[in-house]
Amino acid sequence: MAIRDARDLAPGEELTADICIIGAGPAGIVLGLELARTGIEVVVLEGGGEERSDESQDLYRGENIGEDYFELDLTRVRQFGGSTNHWEGYCRPLDREDFDRPPAADLEGWPFSRSELIDHYREASRLCEIDDSLELSGEHWASRVGAGLIDMEPTTVRSEVLFRSPPTNFARRYGPELAEADSVSIYLHANVVELTWEQDRVSSVRIAHFNGATQTITASKFVLAVGGLEVPRLLLVSPGPHGNGIGNQHDQVGRYFMEHPHLITPHLVTHDLDQFSFYTEETVIENTRLIGILTLSPELRSARAIGNATAVLQTASNFGQRWSDADPLGKGVRSLVGGLNDLTSPEQELLNVRFITEQVPNARSRVVLSSHHDPFGLPRIALDWQLHPIDYHTIRKAVETVGTQLANAGLGRLNAPTHGGLLPYRILGGNHHMGTTRLSEDPTRGVVDASLRVHGVENLYIASSSVFPTGGWANPTLTILALTLRLADHLKESSG
């Protein structure tokens, strides 16, 4: 069926379906495609339109009341295709150890191992138009193009790869196929404002329009696929059985918000930029784009009790250059390295290093409802992003380890901001919103069970990074899609 505009529905009109998917970002679109193959009647409700609009984007505004963070309407896109209208396309599965290691002594991690997701990860890779071998070893890929790897102790720091999708825009790439499916109806400009509760289940959802009209959609099952910040919002604004939000009987909705803390060190001073080319320049092998990265070995992480992390090397931007010029000690380091290596062009010695690290789930880091409202009268969100001392420890150790290893190998000197135990550089996020309805078999410690069904609600599921119980350091979309495909299998089985 074609893509429709919900603004054309009559006020008060009611729609019905077997499964109602709320949100058509990559998760909602892929779930719709999978269910379309079974003939189950599906309705997809997407708040945005085919083009970006200020009116729609404004619904995403909110407040930051914790760590410094991106404006909440700039860190996601409310448009058909969701944030893949703007994403960078970096893709990588979580590591095996991310699934196996509990994040803290008193908090469980993933209730299943990565092997359970492997086939889904492969399919997710195909959807993102990257290689589906899940081969992450730097050696494997470098040898295929005859590139050199930098030599470090593999028990400490390893060379691996990060894949890069074209980047696939899920609305453009898969929207037409979804629109053609007989059993699927897609409505754009269909902003869901409430989930209606009735005896242990969600009976319907209400959509609203800027002109005040509303409609109701009734279904046997509902799937929230509105992104990691909006999922808790929709649950919290829907009163549910206890009046404090659906699935929120244990005050868990919105908690455990995780990002991937990013730290960009101004530079790595090296005497031979060429040896880093596998890491700084994209390699294309049979249509797969990838770059080399440095990762911390699992042995090192458990020995030091730190989270997961990677270092991505980039040729220094002008910004990096200016930054380094403003740092008198950095100038001295460049002179040292230059003098010892007889370098003649000091401008060619710099790399930026971007550390992307794991944040441990912590209940104080959360999404709450703000006192401000959007044009539909819905409370906006306030994001209280909180880092735990372990997160700073992870960042420091990651920088220190990579810095020491690079120096040990005679490759360069890294500015590792660890002095005084403080980090002088700003920690950024990565536009990755995870953990706000975390997966836990224990309803007092999370919001969804292993089948991604909301605890205490018979027919409500979540397809989003909001269910990640831990987030490793890897960009989330591949894992979101793998989980979505797994959920599709579950829904297909349970629907018939």
CA separation for the pair 149, 276 (Å, rounded): 8
Pick the closer one to another protein by CB: 137 or 335: 335
428 interacts with another protein by CB under 8 A: no
421, interface contact from ligand FAD, another protein, none, CB < 5-8 Å by kind: none
> Which x/- pattern over 316-335 shows residues binding another protein (rule: CB under 8 A)?
------------xxxxxxxx
290 interacts with ligand FAD by CB under 6 A: no
496, interface contact from another protein, ligand FAD, none, CB < 5-8 Å by kind: none
Residue whose tokens read 């919103």:
433
Using the contact rule CB under 8 A, the part of the chain among 124-132, 184-192, 418-426, 450-458 near another protein is: 418-426
Q: In the set 31, 36, 42, 48, which binds ligand FAD (CB under 6 A)?
A: 48
Residues whose CB falls within 8 Å of the CB of residue 63, separated by 6 or more in sequence, listed in order: 72, 370, 372, 380, 381, 382, 383
* In the complex, minimum distance from the CB of residue 61 to ligand FAD, in angstroms, rounded to a whole number: 13
226 interacts with ligand FAD by CB under 6 A: yes
Q: In the set 412, 447, 477, 488, which binds ligand FAD (CB under 6 A)?
A: 477
CA separation for the pair 111, 479 (Å, rounded): 15
Using the contact rule CB under 6 A, the part of the chain among 75-83, 114-122, 316-324, 333-341 near ligand FAD is: 75-83
289 interacts with ligand FAD by CB under 6 A: no
Residue whose tokens read 């289940």:
201
391 interacts with ligand FAD by CB under 6 A: no
Residues 393-452 that bind ligand FAD (CB under 6 A): 431-432
How many residues contact another protein, by CB under 8 A? 30
Q: What is the DSSP string of 317-384?
A: PHHHHHHHHT-HHHHHHHHHHHHHHT-S-GGG-EEEEEEEE-----TTSEEEEEEEE-TTS-EEEEEE
378, interface contact from ligand FAD, another protein, none, CB < 5-8 Å by kind: none
Residues 455-484 that bind another protein (CB under 8 A): none
Pick the closer one to ligand FAD by CB: 79 or 159: 79
CA 86 and chain centroid, separation? 13
182 interacts with another protein by CB under 8 A: no
DSSP, collapsed to helix, strand or coil, labels residue 140 as helix
Structure token digits, residue 128? 């993102």
Q: In the set 416, 428, 439, 483, which binds another protein (CB under 8 A)?
A: 416
Phi, psi dihedral angles at 10 (to 5 degrees)? -75, 145
27, interface contact from another protein, ligand FAD, none, CB < 5-8 Å by kind: ligand FAD
Q: Is 289 left (phi over 0), alpha (psi -120 to 50) or beta?
A: beta
Structure token digits, residue 77? 């896109």
Any idea what the Cα angle at residue 487 is, between residues 295 and 472, rounded to 5°?
Answer: 15
> Which x/- pattern over 382-401 shows residues binding another protein (rule: CB under 8 A)?
------------------x-
Roughly how many angstroms between the first and final C-alpha of the chain, as a whole number?
22
Distances (CA, A) of 140 to 126, 347, 406, 478: 20, 32, 21, 21
CA separation for the pair 27, 44 (Å, rounded): 11
Query: What is the four-CA torsion angle of 365, 370, 376, 377, rounded to 10 degrees?
Result: 140
Burial of 304 (0-12, 13-18, 19+ CB in 10 A): middle
The candidate with the shortest Cα–Cα distance to 84, out of 135, 46, 37, is 46
> Which x/- pattern over 241-280 shows residues binding another protein (rule: CB under 8 A)?
------------------------x---------------
Q: In the set 111, 241, 298, 338, which binds another protein (CB under 8 A)?
A: 338
DSSP, collapsed to helix, strand or coil, labels residue 18 as strand
* CB closest to ligand FAD, residue no: 25
The candidate with the shortest Cα–Cα distance to 81, out of 30, 39, 127, is 30
Pick the closer one to ligand FAD by CB: 22 or 485: 22
Residue ranges in contact with ligand FAD by CB under 6 A: 22-28, 45-48, 75-76, 78-79, 82-84, 86-91, 190-192, 225-227, 230, 234, 431-432, 464-465, 475-477, 480
Residue ranges in contact with another protein by CB under 8 A: 265, 328-336, 338-342, 346, 400, 403-404, 407-408, 410, 413-419, 424
